[in-house]
């Protein structure tokens, strides 16, 4: 058992170091962090909604960086080793395919965690820098953050010159430290006027929002690693981007068809173009007869009053769910569950941590299924 743990630690550590050692990974971390700060710098004239706009934009940048970072880490960790033969060298030792594959994923998840940590801390700084049309740009915070980036790159350069250590990995680790110090200094020792007579504060709800995006990045990593068993970086990026776009629309493409029409919002369905006039007449009759509270959607108590013959009539009319929709809806990653930008637009200062727990359960089950597929593909992969 101890020997297996040592193998996992060694392979995962090597995978983590290989991922953050890529210069493009350093560029991704730096570019996304700087762009988050840039989003909080100019005037927007958003009629008082500038803080909400900036926070949503920052979360979107974090989401995109998670997608790109997962593909970069998976491709550098597994696809490259399969191509050059390093994987076969490791597997020729007493290391199983399953242990090797799962250890690679742990290393990738660690690299993505470091990426999202830096982005989340930067997002906290950006939430402190926001201002509306009556505020002003937080020049002090901007200079402190810029100094943190310069110091991190300087540390990476010094360790590379004197200790012959890889510049990208040392710069990324140093950036995580310097950005954290910069965030503390900005929050404790500087002031920012968000509006007339209103001081800006750090929006701590960014932390659970960033945690959800971290969960999404781990799912991205599992999908990218599974694709990397057979594909190189560009095809893997294409597949992951396609799944990302389809997953964003999964509620519309598959979610509505995974439920029978009588469980949906019937009033909205009557306005749409999905149903024929005959089907809409049946739905209209159902709404008139059983919607006692005029909500446009039948509650469970109202559904229980529908007769067996009426259910049979609706199924015969084609109002039941499509047989294929639940399968595709379950197989497609629903990226919308990781997006909580709407909550940040409210004035509530608490966060639904129960929802975070539910999303974590969904992420765990989905990652387990994807990694199982990846293990099967990797077991059957012919290595040279």
Instruction: Classify 199 as helix, strand or coil.
Output: strand
Percent of the chain with pLDDT over 70: 93
Q: What is the pLDDT of residues 341-372, one digit of tens each?
A: 777 777 666 778 899 999 999 999 999 999 99
Contact between 315 and 286 under an 8 Å Cβ cutoff? The reply is no
Q: How far apart are CA 111 and CA 20, in angstroms?
A: 6
**In the numeric block, which tokens belong to residue 251?**
């509620």
Q: Mark out the alpha helices in 291-352 (DSSP H runs).
A: 300-303, 308-316, 325-331, 341-344
* Residue 384 scores a pLDDT above 80: no
The whole-number pLDDT of residue 229 equals 87
Contact between 218 and 155 under an 8 Å Cβ cutoff? The reply is no
The whole-number pLDDT of residue 150 equals 97
Please tell me the total number of residues recorded for the chain in this structure.
Answer: 384
Show Cβ contacts of residue 320 under 8 Å, excluding neighbours closer than 6 positions: 260, 261, 314
- Point out the least confidently predicted range of 170-179, 193-202, 317-326: 193-202
Which pLDDT band holds residue 169 (cuts at 50, 70, 90)?
Answer: very high
User: Comparing C-alpha atoms, which of 104, 384, 336 is closest to residue 224?
Assistant: 104
Q: What is the pLDDT of residues 331-347, one digit of tens each?
A: 899 999 998 877 777 76
Alpha-carbon distances, residue 214 vs 62, 217, 355 (angstroms): 9, 5, 15
The secondary structure of 280-304, three-state, reads HHHHHHHHHHHCCCCCCCCCHHHHC
* Residue 177 scores a pLDDT above 90: yes
Backbone angles phi, psi at 81, to 5 degrees: -70, -35
Instruction: Classify 198 as helix, strand or coil.
Output: strand
Find the farthest-apart pair of alpha carbons in the chain and give their distance in angstroms, rounded: 82
- Point out the least confidently predicted range of 27-36, 80-89, 255-264, 289-298: 80-89
Cα 25 off chain centre by: 17
Tokens 């597994």 correspond to 78
Q: What is the pLDDT of residues 51-107, one digit of tens each?
A: 788 888 999 999 999 999 998 888 877 777 777 666 666 666 677 888 889 999 999
Tokens 């762009």 correspond to 35
Percent of the chain with pLDDT over 90: 43
Tokens 């010159």 correspond to 161
* Residue 324 scores a pLDDT above 70: yes
Show Cβ contacts of residue 337 under 8 Å, excluding neighbours closer than 6 positions: 212, 359, 362
Q: What is the pLDDT of residues 5-60, one digit of tens each?
A: 888 888 899 889 999 999 999 999 999 999 999 998 887 766 667 778 888 899 99
């Amino acid at each position: 058992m101890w020997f297996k743990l040592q193998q996992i630690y060694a392979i995962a550590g090597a995978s983590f170091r290989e991922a953050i050692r890529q210069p493009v990974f350093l560029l991704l971390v730096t570019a996304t962090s700087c762009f988050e700060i840039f989003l909080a710098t100019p005037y927007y004239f958003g009629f008082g909604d500038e803080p909400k706009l900036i926070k949503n934009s920052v979360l979107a940048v974090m989401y995109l960086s998670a997608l790109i970072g997962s593909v970069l880490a998976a491709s550098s960790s597994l696809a490259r080793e399969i191509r050059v033969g390093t994987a076969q060298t490791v597997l020729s030792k007493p290391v199983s395919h399953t242990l090797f594959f799962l250890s690679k994923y742990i290393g990738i998840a660690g690299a993505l965690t470091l990426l999202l940590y830096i982005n989340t801390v930067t997002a906290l700084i950006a939430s402190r820098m926001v201002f509306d049309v009556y505020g002003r740009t937080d020049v002090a915070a901007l200079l402190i953050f810029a100094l943190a980036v310069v110091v991190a790159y300087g540390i990476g350069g010094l360790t590379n010159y004197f200790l012959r250590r890889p510049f990208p990995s040392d710069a990324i680790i140093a950036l995580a430290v310097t950005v954290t110090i910069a965030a503390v200094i900005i929050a404790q020792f500087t002031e920012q006027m968000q509006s007339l007579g209103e001081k800006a504060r750090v929006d701590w709800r960014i932390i659970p929002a960033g945690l959800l995006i971290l969960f999404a990045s781990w799912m991205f990593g599992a999908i990218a690693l599974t694709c990397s068993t057979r594909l190189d970086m560009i095809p893997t990026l294409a597949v992951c981007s396609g799944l990302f776009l389809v997953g964003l629309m999964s509620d519309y493409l598959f979610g509505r068809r995974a439920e029978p029409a009588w469980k949906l919002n019937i009033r909205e369905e009557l306005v749409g173009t999905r149903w024929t006039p005959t089907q809409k007449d049946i739905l209209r009759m159902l709404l008139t007869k059983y919607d006692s509270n005029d909500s446009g959607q039948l509650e469970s108590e109202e559904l229980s009053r529908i007769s067996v013959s009426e259910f049979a009539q609706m199924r015969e009319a084609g109002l039941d769910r499509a047989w294929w929709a639940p399968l595709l809806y379950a197989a497609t990653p629903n990226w919308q569950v990781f997006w909580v930008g709407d909550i940040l637009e409210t004035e509530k200062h608490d966060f639904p941590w129960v929802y975070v727990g539910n999303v974590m359960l969904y992420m765990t089950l989905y990652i387990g299924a994807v990694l199982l597929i990846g293990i099967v593909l990797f077991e059957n992969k012919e290595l040279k």
